[in-house]
């Protein structure tokens, strides 16, 4: 049964079977994103619960303009971003110093290196870069979202998102070099 069929059936009948089906499909992925964003298992568990509550309370507003998974992940990222914003009392985690930094040179190698980074290192690198950078890298490389989809979620222009991704990749490379200095043989 496809997501859309389950959603329509749930909206018609409020059957708990439909709720359980969507929960089984998305709970693990939502939890994983929450762990990446919030870095604490207990916070991620609470966030997963809150996000599911939001999803089901707003299910009738899902306009089917995007894939259901994209809509679910947009709620997930926005929840995590809002949570971090409240925690840090920072107005906008996307308007940090990086916004004013000069444009990094992207010769295409940074993306390849990023995607081929060993999983353990990737996790450490993601944990050590700013939340805004982490979010855009996850949206692009984990969820395979388009620039437009990311721009819609973050309420930014597409060119601002492209710039943000470029800077996030540079930041990730820089962080990897700092944290995992190559050992001389």
Partner 1 sequence: MNNFQRLEEEQARLYDASRRRDVQENLSQTFGLFKFIGQIVDVYLPAMIGVLVSAAGGKGPDGRNQGLNRPPSEGGEHPGKVGPHPPNGDAPRR
Query: Which residues are near partner 1 by CB under 8 A?
Result: 14, 16, 19-20, 23, 27-29, 31-33, 35-36, 41, 45, 48-49, 52-53, 56-57, 115-119, 122-123, 126, 137-138, 141-142
| Furthest-apart CA atoms within the chain: distance in Å | 65
Nearer residue to partner 1 within complex by CB, 48 or 110: 48
Residue 141 C-beta: closest distance to partner 1, Å = 4
**Which of 177, 142, 176, 147 minimizes the C-alpha distance to 162?**
147
**Which of 171, 150, 4 minimizes the C-alpha distance to 78?**
150
Residue 100 C-beta: closest distance to partner 1, Å = 27
Residue 144 C-beta: closest distance to partner 1, Å = 8
Nearer residue to partner 1 within complex by CB, 24 or 155: 24
Residue 37 C-beta: closest distance to partner 1, Å = 11
User: Is the distance from CB of 68 to CB of 143 less than 8 angstroms?
Assistant: no
Nearer residue to partner 1 within complex by CB, 141 or 174: 141
93 alpha carbon, distance to own chain's centre: 13
Residue 21 C-beta: closest distance to partner 1, Å = 12
Nearer residue to partner 1 within complex by CB, 27 or 160: 27
Report the alpha-carbon distance of residue 69 to residue 41 in Å, rounded: 22
Nearer residue to partner 1 within complex by CB, 98 or 172: 172
């Amino acid at each position: 049964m496809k997501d859309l069929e389950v959603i329509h059936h749930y909206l018609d009948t409020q059957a708990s079977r439909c709720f359980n089906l969507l929960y089984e499909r998305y709970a693990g992925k939502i939890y994983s994103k929450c762990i990446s964003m919030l870095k604490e298992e207990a916070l991620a568990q609470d966030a997963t619960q809150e996000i599911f509550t939001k999803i089901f309370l707003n299910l009738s507003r899902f306009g089917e303009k995007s894939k259901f998974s994209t809509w679910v992940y947009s709620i997930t990222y926005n929840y995590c971003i809002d949570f971090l914003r409240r925690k840090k009392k920072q107005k906008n985690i996307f308007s940090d110093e990086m916004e004013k930094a000069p444009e990094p040179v992207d010769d295409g190698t940074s993306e390849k290196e990023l995607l081929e980074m060993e999983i353990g290192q990737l996790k450490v690198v993601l944990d050590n870069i700013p939340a805004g950078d982490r979010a855009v890298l996850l949206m692009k490389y984990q969820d395979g979202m388009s620039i437009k989809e990311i721009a819609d979620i973050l309420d930014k222009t597409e060119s601002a998102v492209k710039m943000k991704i470029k800077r996030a990749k540079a930041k990730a490379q820089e962080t990897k070099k700092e944290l995992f200095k190559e050992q001389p043989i």
